[in-house]
Chains A and B, each alone.
Chain A
Amino acid sequence: MNAAVILHYFFLGTAAIATIALLFARNVFYGALLLLITLLSLAGLYVLSFAEFLAMTQILVYAGGILVLIIFAVMLTSHLNGKPLLIDHSNRLAGGLLGLTVFAMLTSLMVGQQQLQTGGNGEPISIMLLGRLLMTSYVFPFELTGIVLLIALIGAAVIASSSTTKRL
Chain B
Amino acid sequence: MTPDYELLILGALLFSVGLATVIIKRNMIFVLMGIELLLNASVLNLVAFNRIHNDAPTGQVFGLFVIVIAVCEAAVGLAIVIQVYRFYQSSVPDQINDLKE
CB neighbours of B23 from chain A (8 A): 91, 94-95, 98
Tell me if B33 and A8 are in contact (CB < 8 A): no
Cα A42 to Cα B85 with chains together (Å): 31
Determine the main DSSP class of B at the interface with A: helix
Tell me if B30 and A28 are in contact (CB < 8 A): yes
Within 8 A of A (CB), among B5-51: 5-10, 12-17, 19-30, 32-33, 36-37, 40, 43-44, 47-48, 50-51
Interface size on A, residues (CB 8 A): 88
How far in angstroms is the closest Cβ of chain A from B22? 8
CB neighbours of B60 from chain A (8 A): 51, 53-54, 125, 130
Asked whether any CB of chain B lies closer than 8 Å to the CB of A83, the reply is no
Tell me if A90 and B26 are in contact (CB < 8 A): yes
Tell me if B44 and A45 are in contact (CB < 8 A): yes
CB neighbours of B58 from chain A (8 A): 133
Knowing A45-B7, A110-B12, A120-B54 are in contact, say whether A54-B71 is a contact too (CB < 8 A).
Answer: no
Tell me if A35 and B54 are in contact (CB < 8 A): no
